[in-house]
Structure formats: C-alpha cells, structure tokens
C-alpha cells in the first residue's frame, strides 16, 4: 500500500513539474488569467460548466470568485450552469446534451467569459455550451486533457493537460483554477 501511495503522489507531482517547464502552457495560463480579470474589471460575468468532477471544478471556481480565495476583496460575478431544477427540467423535457447550451443562450454576452471544462475535450453538452456562447460573442476558455478533443479547436484559449489519466487531468485543472484565483487577487488590481 505504501508503494501505491508513493507512486500516485509521484505521478501527480511529475505531471505538474513537467507543466511548470512548459512555456506554452504557462503562457496560456497567464493569458487566461488576464482575460478573466479583464472580464471581472469590466463588470462581466465569469460562467463555468463541466460534468462530474469537472462540475465540481466549475462550482469551485465560482465560489472562489464570488466569496474569496485567500484575501478579502469585493465579490467577482461568477455563475456555474448547475441549477438542479433547470438541468433536470431541460434534460427531461428536451435533452441533457444541450442543457448547458440553454444556459449560455440565456445568460452569456460579449462582456462575459465562459470556462468550459472537459477532461476528454469531447463532452457533448460542454461543446454545445461553447457553441452557444460563441454565438453570443462570449470569450471561451477551455480546460481539457488528453489531446484537447473537439474543445481545443472551438474555444478562444485552451489549456490542455497532456495526460490520459482523468484523475491527473482533474488535479491539474484545480491547480489552474487556484492559480487563476491567486493571480486575479494579486496581479490585476481587483483588491479595492
């Protein structure tokens, strides 16, 4: 059991260490943080969506922005596409495949940013949300894994975690979210 634990910790650390040396990944992380901060400063809303663990990451991003990450500051407008009543109504009456798209059609605008999270990059409902948001002029940031899937080619900026292991991808996604929050709170004058 000790070997298993050590191996899993090493795998997680190794992937993050490789990304810490990846200048393109770091540049995309910085650019995405800048875009999120610009959205917040201009009064736009940061939206987020994903499935399963990525749902939790979308919710986590929103709570860090609305409440706080590590420092007291004004709240940042952020919403996830996870209202149970809306999702189950739309999914039951129409289709879960475009439930997130309905949110994007209803709420997103050209002032906003959508963070679309899919470890495979191929989640149908996330792709549909991206397409609907893009039709509204919304800037879209993708968090994906593997080869980025369809998501990588649809979004304005995509952070692709080069791993086949869903759990490793998710671990990097939550790290990216925490880096965004750290940069937003310290680098972009949002602490007033």
Residue 13 has pLDDT above 80, yes or no: yes
The answer for 121, left when phi > 0, alpha when psi is -120 to 50, beta otherwise, is: left
The answer to whether residues 44 and 130 touch, using CB atoms and an 8 Å cutoff, is no
pLDDT band at 1, cuts 50/70/90? Answer: confident
Beta carbons within 8 Å of 164's beta carbon, 6+ residues apart = 145, 146
Domain ranges of the chain: 23-187
- pTM for this entry: 0.96
Share of the chain above pLDDT 70, in %: 98
Which CATH number applies to 23-187? Answer: 3.40.50.10490
């Amino acid at each position: 059991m000790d070997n298993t634990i050590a191996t899993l910790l090493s795998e997680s650390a190794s992937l993050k260490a490789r990304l810490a040396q990846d200048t393109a990944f770091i540049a995309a992380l910085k650019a995405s943080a800048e875009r999120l901060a610009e959205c917040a400063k201009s009064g736009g809303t940061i939206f987020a969506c994903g499935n399963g663990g990525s749902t939790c990451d979308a919710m986590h991003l929103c709570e860090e922005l609305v409440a706080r990450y590590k420092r007291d500051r004004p709240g940042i407008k952020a919403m996830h596409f996870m209202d149970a009543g809306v999702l189950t109504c739309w999914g039951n009456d129409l289709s879960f495949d475009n439930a997130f798209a309905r949110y994007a059609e209803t709420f997103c605008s050209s002032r906003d940013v959508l963070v679309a999270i899919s470890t495979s990059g191929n989640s149908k409902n996330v792709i549909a949300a991206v397409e609907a948001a893009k039709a509204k002029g919304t800037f879209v940031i993708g968090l994906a894994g593997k080869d980025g899937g369809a998501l990588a080619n649809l979004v304005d900026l995509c952070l692709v975690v080069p791993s086949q292991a869903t759990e490793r991808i998710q671990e990097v996604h939550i790290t990216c979210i925490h880096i965004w929050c750290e940069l937003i709170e310290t680098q972009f004058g949002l602490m007033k």
